[in-house]
Structure 1
Amino acid sequence: MATQREWVNWAIGRIEADFNRSADTHLIPLPVPVLPDIAIYLKDESSHPTGSLKHRLARSLFLYGLCNGWIRKGTPVIEASSGSTAVSEAYFARMLGLRFIAVVPRSTARAKIEAIAFYGGECHFVDGPSQVYEVAQSLADELDGHYIDQFTFAERATDWRANNNIAQSIFAQMAREPYPVPTWIVCGAGTGGTSATIGRFARYNRHDTQICVADPEGSVFHRHWADRSILRVDHASGCIEGIGRQRVEPSFLPDVVDRMEAVRDTASIGAAHEVSERLGRRCGGSTGTNVWACATIAAEMAARGEKGSIVSILCDDGARYTDTIFDEAWLADKDLDVAPDRARIAHFFETGNFAAL
């Protein structure tokens, strides 16, 4: 019978083998022909085995838990999530033969819930996003399990100096581009771990790259960045899954962020629709949030006569949102008219002008 240490060695080996047979994700140009001196790219994280940026995070969180002695043979793993992280964690839990329970809001997209179940995970539903933390910890205590807690450990579990984190991958892939060191990297914040990793990596390698976090208008993160005394908002953060929170998460590090862009939900969804058509495949709402911020920055750079590159993230596959942001009936029920904002972002791609129409 294997000892716990032998099982942990086996589990780490399984995760590393999975990583070794997985290719890196693509860096896709997003052309704006009328702005030849400004190049925009999207890091396509939807091509991970579990279809989103959160695959990297889930792998790091499992390795962190294993190496800290928190995850052992037979340990139930519990997570608080809006969906995508739980999908990826269910994948790794199944790989290791562990029970996995995701505590998710009832509003989570059906496709994400189905994906969690596909990988053998269970869903425990709560009525509001703010309830996920307490319920996840309570379940972990009840089952003698491990609450993996992405919101606390995202920036700690990821090796921000290297180890093929997303920042290292972006800079390596940009090496042969006309402007190899990005002027800006734009990302959203759910835990804050991605912006923390990219911001630290840029500083560690003495790059001049600045970090912009694109945040849903209802989220607390951009408010906290402007005023550190603001730690929570009482209202819902919006309908863009995966980014934006009601409380400032421990993994969000505002001091590594150079700029915040607050983006309306209609702008995020309108941009997601337009980018999906231009790429020939659907992308999620958080990608739209990112692209809206990229367009804002690109237009400002062009107005100043600056040259350079902007890199952002295609966070996940839009197929997960067929019954939400890509469903006309759903949009109508939420009273979301995305046509004006979609027209504005389309106008930017055609003219380079991002002024309101």
Structure 2
Amino acid sequence: MPRATGDEKASAWVSRAIDLLLADRAAEPPTPLRAFPLAGPPGTALYLKDESLRPSGSLKHGPARDLFLDALRRGEIGPDTPLFEATSGNMAVAQASIARFLGLRYTAVVPGRTGPAKRRRIEEQGGRCHPFDPPLAIYGKARALAQESGGHCLDHLERVGDAIDWSGPHGLGAQILGDLERAGEPAPAWIVVGVGSGATSAAVGRYLRSRGAATRLAVVDPENSAYFPGWAADFPGYTTGMPSRIEGIGRPRMEPAFDPSVVDLVIPVPDVASVAAMRHLHALTGLKAGPSSGSCLWGAFHVLDRMGREGARGAVVMVVGDGGQAYRDTYYDDAWTEARGWHLHGPLSDLVRFTATGTWEATPAG
């Protein structure tokens, strides 16, 4: 029997890698849908889709796996291909996890100021960190390192929009509608998500429209981010030149994956409100989530208030993007938040009042 050539071995490895990722996706249990204890408005309900229970701890796990599948199918990743990405957040953690699953080397190019806790999360999943400055140069550096080493840059900000599988049963939109259907409930009136790369909102929005669902999609946007002003002005080239202070969401430009045509509402959320809502979510439910989930809770209350004023009924589903353990020494630390000028008492009072009564004392910011 003739021996397999190197090309044949590489092709066989790619086929096995694709099969492994598809089997892993099929075996992954759905994340839970939890009810939030809300008093009103009448005829409404709020649910939390808890994506913090994905294998690598955030909703980025599915898009990261789709990036790998796309690159494997394109012949860009082989058995010995070193992988690179420019990010220090949940996407890097998810990619490092998947690279280790396939036995591949993975390097995240991170800003030099990235703290040890964030680096440790990537390293715990088998990745390594390559600090580089200035921060906006990490994208070019990741591409350069990939080219120099004969590797591949996953480049999620540019590529995840085309790679993500939004139409299948494992997508977030399909899972949310399926969760409610299995509970004997109609499709929600609104789904509320954060927007970082824009891939999640695009995937959910496209799925809703492909199904002809009446569900509307709202995305939340923190200070310094380009999505709200760019969406409101219908100007995809809008930039702010400033980084978001809310981990996981917000960008200084509208990224290629963002699809404004499938978004019904963009809600600007003050940073202090995101942090207060994150704390409020933990106090009421015991669910310790990240600050992007606080943004989503504030946005969900905004939508529920709007429904109450319009006399609308139905459920709102907000997405919990990640867990809060990584933010123990930052967003959950009073001294850290006070040093940033985030005084939480006012928005916390608003959140407590809305939870108990279904009404705001005044119209919320945004």
Give the TM interval when normalised to the shorter protein. over 0.9
The answer as to 2:281 corresponding to 1:259 is no
**Cα offset, 1:229, TM superposition:** 3.3
User: 1:134 matched to which residue of 2?
Assistant: 140
Q: CA deviation at 1:238?
A: 2.7
Looking at structure 1, the residues matched to 352 and 184 of structure 2 have their Cα atoms a distance apart, in angstroms, of 25
Is 1:327 aligned with 2:330?
Answer: no
**CA offset at residue 36 of structure 1?**
4.3
Structure 1 unmatched runs, 5+: none
5 Å-filtered alignment, 1:151-166, equals 151-166=157-172
Asked if the contact 2:58/2:321 (under 8 Å) is kept, the reply is: yes
Unaligned runs of 5+ in 2: none
Name the structure 2 match of 1:213.
Answer: 219
Q: Which runs of 4+ in 1 moved over 4 A?
A: 106-110, 176-179
For residues 240-251 of structure 1, the aligned pairs below 5 Å read: 240-251=246-257
1:79 aligns with 2:81: no
CA distance in 2 between partners of 1:215 and 1:82 (Å): 20
Cα distance between partner residues in 2 of 1:138 and 1:351: 55
- Cα deviations across residues 4-23 of structure 1 (Å, max 9, x unaligned)? 11010121122233223321
* Matched residue type, 1:97: G
Conserved? CA contact 1:212–1:260, under 8 Å: yes
What are the equivalent positions in structure 2 for 1:18-97 lying under 5 Å apart? 18-97=24-103
The answer to whether the Cα contact below 8 Å between 2:88 and 2:119 also exists between their aligned partners in 1 is: no
Q: Give runs of aligned pairs for residues 1-357 of structure 1, distance below 5 A.
A: 3-108=9-114, 110-127=116-133, 129-177=135-183, 179-229=185-235, 231-356=237-362
Q: Distance in 2 between matches of 1:225 and 1:78?
A: 31
Distance apart, 1:31 and its partner CA: 2.3
Name the aligned partner's letter for residue 195 of structure 1.
Answer: S
CA offsets per residue over residues 176-233 of structure 1, 9 Å max, x none? 4465211111111111001111111111110111111101121011111112336243
Distance apart, 1:140 and its partner CA: 1.4
Alignment RMSD (CA, Å): 1.8
Equivalent residue of 1:323, what SS?
coil
- Further displaced range: 255-264 or 157-166: 157-166
1:203–1:295 Cα change, 3 Å:
same
Report if aligned partners of 1:261, 1:293 keep a CA contact under 8 Å in 2. Answer: yes
Deviates more, 1:102-111 or 1:268-277: 102-111
Are the counterparts in 2 of residues 79 and 103 from structure 1 also a CA contact under 8 Å?
Answer: yes
Number of residue pairs aligned between Structure 1 and Structure 2: 357
Task: Report sequence identity in percent.
Answer: 38
Q: TM-score, normalised by structure 2?
A: 0.93
| Pair member with larger Rg | 2
In structure 1, give the amino acid aligned to 2:161.
E
User: Could you list the per-position Cα deviations for residues 31-83 of structure 1 after superposition, in whole angstroms to 9, with x for gaps in the alignment?
Assistant: 21233411111110011111100011111111111111111111111112241
Moved more, 1-10 or 240-249: 1-10
Q: Distance in 1 between matches of 2:128 and 2:308?
A: 49
Give the TM-score normalised by structure 1: 0.95
